[in-house]
Amino acid sequence: MGEELERLREELARVREHRDALVRLIDASPVAILTLDTQGNVRTWNPAATRIFGWEKDEVMGKRAPFVPEDRAAEHQAHHSTQVASGAPLQELEVRRARKDGRLIDVSVTTSLLRDGEGKVVDLIGIIADITQRKEAERALHELNATLEQKVEERTLELREAIADMESFSYSVSHDLRSPLRAIDGFARALQEDYEDKLDEDGLHFLGVIVRNASRMGTLIDDLLEFSRTTRKEIQLSELDLNSLVREIFEDLCEQNRQEAELVLADLPPARVDPSLFRQVLVNLISNALKYSSKTETPRVEVGFKEEPDRIVYHVADNGVGFDLKFADKLFGVFQRLHRADEFEGTGVGLAIVARIIKRHGGEIWADAEPGRGATFFFALPRQSPESASSSPA
């Protein structure tokens, strides 16, 4: 009998030790841990519950949970009764609950049922975490996203208006500016033809200046309109044989310029591009290569490529005058030139057109050069052109 009593004392001591450890664990928990009886009255309330909600333990024991807002009390009681009646083992939800000071906070609630030895529900255990900061961050993020979406819509509208303005400007350039320019050019040429014998040397010189500059202005307008068109044109992708296109362009340009030059052409892989726009790329690059190598003894143009894992890098090189790389940032701007007009003709728009087309195909363009040793223009195209390139004007 004495041994049995001693064994029971030891067992009771272990139970008390486990109970005390559990109490210490609950008291040290950073989240609220409480129990409600089947009627919804508070049976246990840990320090974290006081910290989160503001009520002391002796203020809530044996009473209905005070943190449920009045307008949610009936809903809370119904939810509590339903869980007890259904025997649902575990439920999780995020709700707003009231503090003692009246402030509403966001909480995450996990509830489970406590049963006696016969399986009857006797208590409901609630674990509650204050998630106010997280929810405020989520609401702030939602508001930020809404603001950003609104700004994107506004920016899109501005871009559409800008495109419309550009189209209007293009129309104005092609009509309002061309008409007086044609008049200037026409009357200047008429003076040259009909009054050449009545003008002195200075007069003829001035007329020649007018005609040349009117012609240059016409070319400038054409290039500006072409730049506008490449910005607005919808891209239609298809497989393009670059080898035959390069040969055709090279031969046509040599014939137009009455120029002899050597073409070194690698066996180029086909490119998935917009044929009409990409023709402009090659025309401008090969035309520049021929132009800037025209003063060398044996002009030479090389067109090749290098394969990389996610893209193909093409290049067009010449053995012409080259340029100083410290001015490379000017290469692809509109009306930017690295050589004087009296050295080499041009408007400074061609490379801007090339750069815009390459960018719209999801690629990039850059150059390498050295004064007196020629220039090489590289452009990289992704192996699979982005779908967005087919419609997005850049």
DSSP string, 112-177: EEEE-TTS-EEEEEEEEEE-HHHHHHHHHHHHHHHHHHHHHHHHHHHHHHHHHHHHHHHHHIIIII
Using the predicted structure, report yes or no on whether residue 340 has a pLDDT greater than 60: no
User: In angstroms, how far is CA 259 from the centroid of its own chain?
Assistant: 45
Range 256-271 average pLDDT: 90
The residue among 213 and 344 whose pLDDT is bigger is 213
Q: Of 384, 378, 382, give the one whose Cα is nearest residue 354.
A: 378
Amino acid 391: pLDDT: 44
Angle between helices 350-360 and 275-292 (to 10 degrees): 140
191, two tokens: 């003076």
Instruction: Return d(Cα 12, Cα 20) in angstroms, integer.
Output: 12
Residue 233 predicted with pLDDT over 60? yes
- AA letter at 379: F
DSSP-derived secondary structure for 294-346: TTSSS-EEEEEEEE-SSEEEEEEEE-S----GGGGGGTTSTT--SS-TTTS--
In this prediction, residue 347 has a pLDDT band, given cuts at 50, 70 and 90, of: low
At residue 89, the pLDDT reads 59
Q: 145-184 b/e with 16+ CB inside 10 Å = b?
A: eeeeeeeeeeeeeeeeeeeeeeeeebeebeeeebeebeeb
Q: Quick one: which of 93, 5, 84, 86 has its CA closest to 40? A: 84
Residue with the larger pLDDT of the pair 386 and 66: 66
What's the residue count for the chain? Answer: 394
Beta bridge partners of 105: 97
Q: Which residues contact 122 (CB under 8 A, 6 or more apart)?
A: 37, 38, 114, 115, 116
Q: What is the pLDDT of residue 387?
A: 46
**Residue 121 pLDDT more than 60?**
yes
Q: Class assignment of domain 31-130?
A: alpha beta
State residue 266's pLDDT score: 94
- pLDDT > 50? residue 393: no
pTM: 0.52
Encoded amino acid at 12, one letter: L
Among 70-74, 131-135, 295-299, 303-307, the minimum mean pLDDT is found in 70-74
| Position 346 pLDDT exceeds 70 | no
Q: What is the model's pLDDT at position 10?
A: 78
State mean pLDDT over 23-40: 87
CA distance 351 to 329: 12
Residue 146 pLDDT > 90: yes
Per-residue pLDDT at 81: 66
Q: Which two tokens stand for residue 298?
A: 């044996």
Q: How far apart are the first and last CA of the chain?
A: 95
CA–CA gap between residue 82 and residue 297 (Å, rounded) = 96
Tokens read off for 3? 């041994």
- Alpha carbon of 304 to those of 218, 265, 267, 286, 360: distances in Å? 34, 6, 8, 12, 22
Helix (H) or strand (E) holding 378: strand 375-382
Domain boundary assignment for the chain: 31-130, 131-232, 235-394
Domain 235-394 class, CATH top level: alpha beta
Cβ within 8 Å of residue 33, ≥6 positions away:
26, 44, 46, 48, 49, 125, 126, 127, 128
- Given a contact cutoff of 8 angstroms between Cβ atoms, the answer to whether 261 and 301 are in contact is yes
Domain 131-232 has CATH 3.40.1620: no
- Specify the pLDDT at position 348: 66
* pLDDT of 305 higher than 90: yes
* In 221-270, beta strands by DSSP E: 238-240, 262-265
Diameter of the chain measured on Cα atoms? 147
Asked whether residue 308 carries a pLDDT value surpassing 80, the answer given is: yes
Average pLDDT, the chain: 83
pLDDT > 90: what percent of the chain?
34
